[in-house]
Amino acid sequence: MSLTAARPAEIAAEVARRPFTFGVEEEFLLLDPDTWANRPVAEQARLTLPPAMHERSRSEFRRSMFEMVTPVCTDARRLRGHLLDNRRAAAGSAAAVGARLVAVGATPVAEPDRAVVDTPRFHAIARHYGPIAHDPALCGVHVHVGVPDRALAIQACNAIRPWLPVVQAITANSPFHAGADTGHASWRAIALERWPSLGPAPYLDSPEDYDRTVQELVDTGVMLDASMVLWWARPSSRYPTVEVRVGDVCPTADDTVLVAALVRGLVATAVADVAAGRPALRPPEHLLRAAHWNAAHAGLDGTLTDLRVREPRPAWQLVDELVARTGPALERHDDRETVRAGLAALRERGNGATRQRRVHARGGLPAVLDDLAAATTSG
């Protein structure tokens, strides 16, 4: 079947019959091993990577940030192997230039050098957005799920919006900033609210609606250009994927695999809903934004907003319902056991924010960052 010639439900049905591929981009901080302040040595560190690993690395906006990407995968076990390879190679390159690689969502202590990486593109962003472009560095995890039709990718983004605050709460891994507890589980998410082109995606009806909305935002100056579409879920501008970018970078590779499996389950479920003609839930924008703020604030240690009934619910109840909603897709991709084991570990240890606070209570912020550095290259 030609996807371009088919009707939306037929396209969705055809895509739903195929296994969904996925891949991950992870951003890390390079920290001074003595002061734990950010170290602007990412480009020097990248030069020490073996050629195959250098191809998986990317220059980021800030010189203290290090990004690694996985190949496209079909199963969670292979994804885990690539994540561990990436993290260990990046940690070795960081050590070669006197830094430690740390999977943490926000600058925990300080960033003395806030210059952007020296490219025309990054300088243009810094000029356009001013001081917010020089906020301390923030690191996320971006999960790509293969969806080969752009219109279908937009519909999938609509459908997964009510569940992304739950994903955000699972990944929350940045309670500390400027050496102190912010009171939020994800300071990264709170800090990113200063950027006008980040946050939950608007509900969009079609590619034409998407393009029109983006152009209006460019014309008003909110976006520098169309590449500044940085919504929590979007059709990727580079790949035939749905890109979910709501989460803090996770402490361990196993945490990232859990999140990637859940996101793939969500996207696959959304495509199945389109194929079956089930409409996407459309919560009001103010409540959707409130649900994300609440997820960033509470993480898994409180209540989250159930956007289906517009009421607060215990966070773990919504996690369980997310697993139930994605159950058939998890089963189909052999991800059910991966998710079960990952959530069992999460229940026992807590998410990144909870773990950091427990270590902090015992040994202060240096102990937190030492623990995070060790976790970054663990399973």
Q: Average pLDDT in the 97-114 region? A: 97
User: What is the enclosing helix (H) or strand (E) of 303?
Assistant: strand 303-306
Tens digit of each residue's pLDDT (9 = 90 or more) over 313-328:
999 999 999 999 999 9
Does residue 4 register a pLDDT over 60? no
The percentage of the chain sitting over the pLDDT mark of 90, rounded to a whole number, equals 90
Does residue 2 register a pLDDT over 80? no
Which is nearest to 255 in space by CA: 161, 353, 362? 353
Which residue, chain included where needed, has tokens 């500044």? 228
Whether the pTM exceeds 0.75: the reply is yes
The mean of the pLDDT values for the chain is: 95
Does residue 63 register a pLDDT over 80? yes
Q: Average pLDDT in the 281-298 region? A: 97
- Give one DSSP letter per residue of 209-263, joined into a string: HHHHHHHHHHHTTSSSSGGG-EESEEE-SSSSEEEEEEEEPPSSHHHHHHHHHHH
Query: Which region holds residue 36: left if phi is over 0, alpha if psi is between -120 and 50, else beta?
Result: left
What would be the CATH architecture of the domain defined by 3-376? 2-Layer Sandwich (3.30)
Does residue 331 register a pLDDT over 70? yes
Give the phi and the psi of residue 68 in degrees, each rounded to 5: -130, 145
Does residue 197 register a pLDDT over 90? no
Is residue 149 within 8 A of residue 276, CB to CB? The reply is: no
Check residue 103 and give its pLDDT: 98
Tens digit of each residue's pLDDT (9 = 90 or more) over 227-277:
899 999 999 988 999 999 999 999 999 999 999 999 999 999 999 999 999
Does residue 157 register a pLDDT over 90? yes
- pLDDT category at 46 given cuts 50, 70, 90 is very high
Alpha carbons 149 and 276: distance in angstroms, whole number = 17
Does residue 6 register a pLDDT over 60? no
Q: Please list, in sequence order, all residues whose beta carbon lies within 8 angstroms of the beta carbon of residue 309, skipping any fewer than 6 positions away.
A: none
The partner residues of 199 in beta bridges, in order of sequence, read 231
Alpha carbons 84 and 82: distance in angstroms, whole number = 5
Amino acid identity of 309?
A: V
Q: Please list, in sequence order, all residues whose beta carbon lies within 8 angstroms of the beta carbon of residue 22, skipping any fewer than 6 positions away.
A: 72, 73, 74, 79, 143, 144, 145, 146, 260, 263, 264
The partner residues of 329 in beta bridges, in order of sequence, read none
Q: Please state the separation of Cα 238 from the chain's center in Å.
A: 17
Is residue 378 within 8 A of residue 253, CB to CB? The reply is: yes
Check residue 1 and give its pLDDT: 43
